Chains A and B, each alone.
Chain A
Amino acid sequence: MKIKHQLAVFNLLTRLLIIVVLWFSLPVLVQKVVYSHIDKSILEKKQKFIQHLDNEEINDFMSRNDSTETYASFSTLHNEFLQLYRAKDNFVKDKSSFINERRVIEEEENDYRVLYYNFTYENTKYVLEIGNSLSEINDLTFSIRFFTTGLLFIIVLITFLADTFFIEYLLKPFYKIINTKIRHVDEPNGFNYTEINTHSTDFKELDLVLNQMMFRINDLFQKEKQFIGNVSHELLTPISLLKNRFENLLQNESINDEGIDKIASSLRTLDVLKKVINNLLLISKIDNNQFANNEHISIKEIISEILEDFEDRIEEKQITISNEVADDFNFLGNSTLIRIMLYNLLLNAIKYNIEKGKITLATHFSADHYLLTISDTGKGMTEAQQSTIFERFTRISIEQEGQGLGLAIVDSIAKFHHIELNVNSKIDVGTTFTVQFPVEVTKKS
């Protein structure tokens, strides 16, 4: 999930949470505010009533309804009432309390907020009740709740959109950094050092650090390239000297047979040394992308050329070659490298084959791949051996000649060309190498 999407989801969730909390807490809040408001006005009325209280008025109230000794007065719309009566028991002086009650007043039932107030006047105990209707308040609470929630929804929507756009704007430099600097960069040379335009210092810093890092990597890459060049020069020149000196010595008539043998053997050792260095140089150069890969290569052609080169070996071991390379395939890459890769694979197929063995070459086209299989009838390898054959300096057996670099080179070349290599081997049955060329590379050409 991208950061902007994560932020959007987070924004949405927090806002929904706010709405839910408000939806449930709003009525309580509104009620509280309204009650305190009503209570205040009721208390004011009570104060007024008590202040203007005198005997005459009490008597006036009471005389109207002698039987109950209760006085009541109602406003016309029944949203307020006032009641005064003599207290019976449970009298606590100056106690006032608010209670919500349902009352029937003149055949109309309503919810009221009622103040009970106990007081004494000229040694007589009275209870005063002042009520205020709640029906309007309930209506009001509902509409406030409805209206507020609607408003909240609109606010949430607007802020959510604003946030989303702002996040998108804020993160734009970040995606630009990813797209232009990190993605599509195969090698340090291809790095783009242009500054990314942004107001966020974080991204400026990221950009700067990335640039510095790539600069260092590029620097190291160049140094490694140089190092390889220097090593090859420094090692190969002395080898060249020794080789030429031995060759000149070989012509010296005064050296006896034993001396000649030793010189020839030294020359062979020098040749091994030279080839080990050249092989290692080749691997480093491939791994450092120092080869162009824009040549059109006909796999079929290369294979028949290599088989021609191997004529002697094939004849000597009396190996049957079954060349079923039917479809030609034009691969875009480095022809020298592809040649070396197929050369090494075929060389192994011959070298580790039995006398009068067989090598089968077959091809197969699938939707996005071109498959080449090279199967031999050699001694095969165990699973453990198969897992290490592509590593440098690995030799399957002690009696095996060579330095164990052939398949390491094959592996490097395959990786360089995005070719997939697979090996399948059974002891005493044979080994099959599957080379899977990506087809889209050719289509690009």
Chain B
Amino acid sequence: MNVLIVEDYKELATELVDYLSKNGYLCKAVTTCEDAQEEIAVNDYDAMLLDLGLPDGSGFDVLKAVRKSKSKIAVIVITARGELDDKINGLELGADDYLTKPFALTELGARLFAVIRRIHGFTANELNIHGFTIQLQDYKVSFEENPIALTKKEFDIFQYLALNKNRVITRLQLTEHVWGDVLEINSDSNFIDVHVRNLRKKLAAFSKLDWFETVRNVGYRINI
């Protein structure tokens, strides 16, 4: 899977490349509108992370050019502006998703996965974790054909941890994923623990959960 990162802040681009490479993506980072358009014209990319504030223009120009070319590339706009106008504008011009800086890398991973899956119509709608099957589209979880009744929040947590397997996911990341980007400062993430506890209880009824790890003081990790 090829991903083009258009971000003028080089250090940030490096972190994105670092994360995405570890998740099996092939990444290329450019810093200007011009380079971005050239890359898209020359190479075949599955997805693009597009920053809006670029030194030689707005990321929207790149987005417009991409959509004109009828390319099937999935575009996720990332920007610090977070302005409502930009959000509407971006989605109207054909961005597939939108992330405001600062965002969690795991959130980016989950969105990227969802966007690429949607655009390319992948059949791989299932994640298999130690005998558990997560049906991404239908919000269902089963263990060897036995359906497990999970709440929406429990499903979200399980899916998020599974998608970011082998990574420590902090409580904050989980909170933001489940409840969205709330403005509340020090939003108490202990509620995540309650839901994780309930989730583990439900899963433990079917199998041993030594792969579902609690990282002390930090968060959780699903190992495969």
Contact = CB atoms under 8 A, between A and B. Distances in A.
A245 interface: yes
Interface in A327-350: 336, 340, 343-344, 347
Contacts, number: 118
B191 to A, nearest CB: 4
Nearest to B175: A271
Interface stretch (A159-167, A275-283, A356-364): A275-283
A244 B102 contact: yes
A402 B186 contact: yes
A244 B106 CA distance: 9
Given A229-B81, A312-B191, A247 B105 contact: yes
B185 A240 contact: no
Given A264-B170, A264-B219, A347 B184 contact: yes
A251 B217 contact: no
A237 B184 contact: no
A205 to B, nearest CB: 38
A63 interface: no
A62 interface: no
B194 A312 contact: yes
Contact of B102 (A274, A291, A347): A274
A229 B102 contact: no
Q: Which of A244, A264, A347, A406 has the most chain B CB atoms closer than 10 A to its own CB?
A: A244
A278 B106 CA distance: 21
B209 interface: no
A312 to B, nearest CB: 4
A407 to B, nearest CB: 12
A244 B80 contact: no
B191 A261 contact: no
A240 B103 contact: yes
Interface residues of B, number: 43
A237 B12 contact: yes
Contacts of A239: 101-102
B61 interface: no
Contacts of B83: 229, 285, 290
Interface in B77-107: 79-84, 100-106
Contacts of B191: 312-313, 316
Contacts of B182: 343
A260 interface: yes
Contact of A405 (B80, B82, B104, B185): B185
A288 to B, nearest CB: 11
Nearest to B181: A278
B206 interface: no
Contacts of B185: 272, 275-276, 279, 401-403, 405
Contacts of A309: 179
28 contacts: A229-B81, A233-B53, A233-B79, A233-B81, A236-B101, A237-B9, A240-B101, A240-B102, A240-B103, A241-B9, A243-B104, A244-B16, A244-B105, A247-B173, A248-B18, A248-B19, A248-B105, A250-B170, A251-B167, A264-B170, A267-B170, A271-B172, A272-B185, A275-B185, A313-B188, A316-B191, A336-B84, A403-B185
- Leading 5 A-B pairs by shortest Cβ distance: A240-B102, A236-B80, A240-B101, A244-B15, A312-B191
